[in-house]
Chain A
Amino acid sequence: MQSEIIVIQGAVKRFGRVEALRGVDLVVHRGEVVVIIGPSGSGKSTLLRCINHLESLDAGCIIVDGIPLTQAENINKVRAEVGIVFQQFNLFPHLTALENITLAQRIVRKRTREEAERIGMELLKKVGIPEKAHAYPAQLSGGQQQRVAIARALAMQPKIMLFDEPTSALDPEMIKEVLDVMLALAKEGMTMVVVSHEMGFARAAADRIIFMDEGVIVEETTPELLFTAPKHERTRLFLSKILH
């Protein structure tokens, strides 16, 4: 088993005239936690969304767990291995928390209702809200919704978890409960790619921090080095803005 799980080479993505990604190379190893930071419009979310093909590349290639993301039949295979958690939670509002978690298990993984519900309840316990199993998303707080969304992604037993600004839409008092779940996941050895400006999380969990700006990776470093000795002027400027 090779240690690289995500290999991105020369990724280019355009939206009309705008180049969101302008040649990005990145390798993520098994069990690694990579945090991507950068100003808005820097392409960090686009890069994340390309990893499970919510956006397709205009040039370059992405290989996930040895499977190149080019042919259509590979995409569903990869998606089943890669969980993603969105900024806006995107829970299914017509289903209860538990049904949100069991739906894909049953129709994609072909599990029985009993098995899917057992796994669903275990995961709800893990994210700390088993008592909300039968509540609808509208009856849950933002933090609870996001935790259900994490449980929903985990139910597919992914090898990689992607987080696209998971705490940006949350009230401050709810950020911690979501970050705690993410920290626990990181400790278990889950491979994670996280777009977030939560520096506390980055410091506690990240193996590597990547700073992106204008569609390219400007700096790749460890949390300690980022805060003590950022190499690039742009990184320094950005950090001074988000830390004060």
Chain B
Amino acid sequence: MPDVERLEKVIEKKAAVAPAERERFDTWWFLVLAVVAVVALLVFLKPNPFQRIVVFLRDGIWVTIRITVISFVFILIVGLIGGLGRLAKNWLIHGIASLYVEIIRGIPLLVQLLFLYFAFPQVLDSVGAWLLKLSPSLRGAGQYLVDVKPDPFVMAVAGLTICYGAYMSEIYRAGIQSISKGQMEAARSLGMSYFQAMRYVILPQAVRVILPPVGNEFVALLKDSSLVSVVAVSDMTRRGREFMSSSFMSLETWTMVALLYLVMTLFASRVVAYIERKTAFAK
């Protein structure tokens, strides 16, 4: 019975792999715990200044997490649209998606954030004034654009989404392209539409391929979210700067901020690794 033998081999392979994987799993979680322990030790053994710092940073930690998670949800959506756009046969859609990716990837995130927060409102202002002059029927829209004040949080999410969305588009594109052409052909030959084939056949496979790079993007985003501190968002980094400028304890403040980022990124990358293992399927 060659089939039974094959199956047994597959099972054996899985069994052989399992203990090693579990071991690595535990080691890395141990590192997360170790960093948490260092933070806890500092807070308990030397409450002044470390406990004060953590209490002061608390709002900022929450803002950092919120801004990262909310942006990431939008990034996943923008990335999917951008990735499908890059693969589109229609030259216009393909062109727009490619232009977006190329332009955004060529501008530093910090500059994009500064532009969005400081320059973009001026653009809206000018457009609004122009609309007001153009016709009385557009008064409402024009006045709205002139009056609108950018919300730092919204602008920060928009900036991170636009920037990371471009990188994510490329990850989706590569992931979808890595699935053999025969899969799309088989799905289409069974009468599925392009989007049904994407939804049920291509994307479920592509997701497993892109999960590691997507996880890396999440961790990178978590770190890059510190840049939003320049556009008046009170994230962890900005709160750290505020504490330092009132207390002049740079070493203690930035040590604590660095440790807290480290806890978050290590934790996030462990969660990604866990999901990766959960969704793996026999190849």
Q: Which of A's residues lie within 8 Å of B, judged by CB? A: 52, 54, 76, 79-80, 82-84, 86, 88, 90-94, 103-104, 107-109, 135-136, 138-141, 144, 149, 152-153, 156
- A174 (CB) vs chain B CBs: closest residue: B2
Cβ of B26 < 8 Å from any Cβ of A? no
Cβ of B19 < 8 Å from any Cβ of A? no
CB distance from B208 to the nearest CB of A (A): 8
Do residues A79 and B188 form an inter-chain contact, with CB atoms below 8 A?
yes
- B199 (CB) vs chain A CBs: closest residue: A107
- A92 (CB) vs chain B CBs: closest residue: B201
- A132 (CB) vs chain B CBs: closest residue: B3
CB distance from B36 to the nearest CB of A (A): 36
A-B pairs with beta carbons under 8 Å apart, 8 shown: A76-B193, A90-B186, A94-B205, A103-B190, A108-B191, A138-B10, A152-B190, A153-B190
A76 CB contacts on chain B under 8 angstroms: 191, 193
Q: Contacts A79-B191, A80-B191, A103-B200 given: A92-B281 contact, CB under 8 Å?
A: no
Distance A92 CA – B282 CA, assembled complex (angstroms) = 12
Cβ of B135 < 8 Å from any Cβ of A? no
Distance A149 CA – B183 CA, assembled complex (angstroms) = 12
Do residues A93 and B190 form an inter-chain contact, with CB atoms below 8 A?
no
Do residues A107 and B200 form an inter-chain contact, with CB atoms below 8 A?
yes
Interface core residue of B182, B185, B191, B193 (most chain A CB under 10 Å): B191
What interface size band does chain B fall in? 20 to 34
Distance A153 CA – B10 CA, assembled complex (angstroms) = 28
| Interface positions of B from 167 to 199, Cβ below 8 Å from A | 180, 182-183, 185-193, 196
- A54 (CB) vs chain B CBs: closest residue: B185
Do residues B282 and A108 form an inter-chain contact, with CB atoms below 8 A?
no
The one of A91, A107, A156 in contact with B196, judged by C-beta atoms closer than 8 angstroms, is A107
- B11 (CB) vs chain A CBs: closest residue: A139
A144 CB contacts on chain B under 8 angstroms: 3
Q: Contacts A79-B188, A103-B200 given: A90-B3 contact, CB under 8 Å?
A: no
Do residues A54 and B188 form an inter-chain contact, with CB atoms below 8 A?
yes
Do residues A138 and B282 form an inter-chain contact, with CB atoms below 8 A?
yes
Chain B contact surface mostly: helix
Distance A103 CA – B282 CA, assembled complex (angstroms) = 19
CB distance from B229 to the nearest CB of A (A): 42
Do residues A54 and B189 form an inter-chain contact, with CB atoms below 8 A?
yes
Distance A152 CA – B205 CA, assembled complex (angstroms) = 19
A152 CB contacts on chain B under 8 angstroms: 190
Distance A82 CA – B185 CA, assembled complex (angstroms) = 13
CB distance from B28 to the nearest CB of A (A): 27
Cβ of B24 < 8 Å from any Cβ of A? no
- Nearest 5 CB-CB pairings of A with B: A104-B190, A90-B186, A80-B191, A90-B182, A108-B191
Distance A156 CA – B189 CA, assembled complex (angstroms) = 10
B2 CB contacts on chain A under 8 angstroms: 141
Distance A153 CA – B204 CA, assembled complex (angstroms) = 21
Do residues B283 and A139 form an inter-chain contact, with CB atoms below 8 A?
no
Distance A76 CA – B187 CA, assembled complex (angstroms) = 11
Q: Contacts A88-B182, A90-B183 given: A108-B192 contact, CB under 8 Å?
A: yes
Cβ of B22 < 8 Å from any Cβ of A? no
The one of A84, A92, A104 in contact with B183, judged by C-beta atoms closer than 8 angstroms, is A92
Cβ of B18 < 8 Å from any Cβ of A? no
Cβ of B55 < 8 Å from any Cβ of A? no
| Interface positions of B from 37 to 54, Cβ below 8 Å from A | none
Q: Contacts A76-B191, A108-B192 given: A93-B205 contact, CB under 8 Å?
A: yes
Do residues A93 and B283 form an inter-chain contact, with CB atoms below 8 A?
yes
A84 CB contacts on chain B under 8 angstroms: 189
Do residues A86 and B182 form an inter-chain contact, with CB atoms below 8 A?
yes
Do residues A94 and B281 form an inter-chain contact, with CB atoms below 8 A?
yes
Do residues A136 and B189 form an inter-chain contact, with CB atoms below 8 A?
no
Do residues A104 and B191 form an inter-chain contact, with CB atoms below 8 A?
yes
Q: Contacts A90-B182, A92-B183 given: A138-B283 contact, CB under 8 Å?
A: yes
Cβ of B17 < 8 Å from any Cβ of A? no
CB distance from B169 to the nearest CB of A (A): 23
